[in-house]
């Protein structure tokens, strides 16, 4: 494992605030929350069709998102650019774990450049203020056989209207 803010990292992370750098990782802050949406997700080796997009959930006048039990799509304030021969993943901050909230996200491959998002699993009603640290990005050396060529990075077409202009 290596620190993305360390001198040997080829990766970068935007919007890192004072206090976000931890001994082995960088805290990620909550930006946007969406309901999970409806419809059928369809995937094969040849194509994928995303389920219908969810609705943006707005924070209250104090800046808090009030989340009932369930699953929510979340977008972080950060943009990551994963360097050659590196990869990373996101884990939940322990305070959320201890209170029944879990963040899941996929692997960030070498060459990925774009927004950071995941699913927040809420097991008990919660109020989370926009800008709160909810996850940590872990970076590591990786034997990369190629570079990211998926649908979510900057410059890629994403068929979900809610993300247009976000990255």
Contact 79, 11 (CB under 8 A): no
Domain extent listing, the chain: 12-36+55-147
Rounded CA Rg of the chain: 16
Digits of tens for pLDDT over the chain (167 positions)? 999 999 999 999 999 999 999 999 999 999 999 998 778 888 898 888 877 778 999 999 999 999 999 999 999 999 999 999 999 999 999 999 999 999 999 999 999 999 999 999 999 999 999 999 999 999 999 988 778 777 666 544 344 455 444 43
User: What's the confidence (pLDDT) of residue 41?
Assistant: 83
User: What's the confidence (pLDDT) of residue 96?
Assistant: 96
CA distance 127 to 66: 4
In angstroms, the Cα distances linking 151 to 47, 49, 57 are 11, 12, 24
**Cα angle for residues 125, 131, 137 (degrees, 5° grid):** 95
Residue 157 is given by DSSP the state -
Pairing of strands 64-67, 101-104: unpaired
pTM of the predicted model, to two decimals? 0.86
Residue 91 is given by DSSP the state E
Q: Residue 35 CA to chain centroid, in angstroms?
A: 15
Q: Residue 28 CA to chain centroid, in angstroms?
A: 8
In angstroms, the Cα distances linking 140 to 80, 83, 84, 156 are 14, 10, 11, 25
CA distance 27 to 8: 19
Residue 123 is given by DSSP the state S
Residue among 44, 47, 49, 74 nearest 59 (CA): 74
CATH of 12-36+55-147, one of 3.40.50.800, 3.40.50.720, 2.70.40.10, 3.40.50.2300: 2.70.40.10
């Amino acid at each position: 494992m290596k620190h993305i803010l360390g001198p040997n990292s080829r990766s970068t992370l935007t919007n890192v605030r004072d206090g976000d750098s931890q001994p082995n990782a960088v805290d990620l802050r909550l930006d946007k929350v969406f309901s999970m949406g409806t419809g059928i997700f369809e995937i094969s080796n040849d194509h994928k069709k995303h389920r219908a997009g969810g609705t943006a959930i707005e924070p209250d006048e104090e800046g808090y998102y009030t989340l009932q039990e369930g699953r929510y799509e979340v977008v972080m304030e950060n943009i990551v650019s994963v360097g050659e021969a590196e990869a990373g993943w996101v884990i939940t901050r322990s305070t959320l774990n201890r209170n029944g909230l879990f963040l899941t996200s996929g692997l960030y491959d070498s060459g990925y450049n774009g927004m950071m998002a995941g699913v927040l699993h809420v097991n008990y009603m919660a109020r989370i203020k926009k800008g709160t640290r909810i996850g940590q990005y872990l970076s590591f050396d990786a034997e990369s056989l190629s570079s990211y060529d998926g649908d979510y990075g900057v410059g890629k077409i994403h068929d979900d209207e809610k993300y247009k202009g976000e990255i």
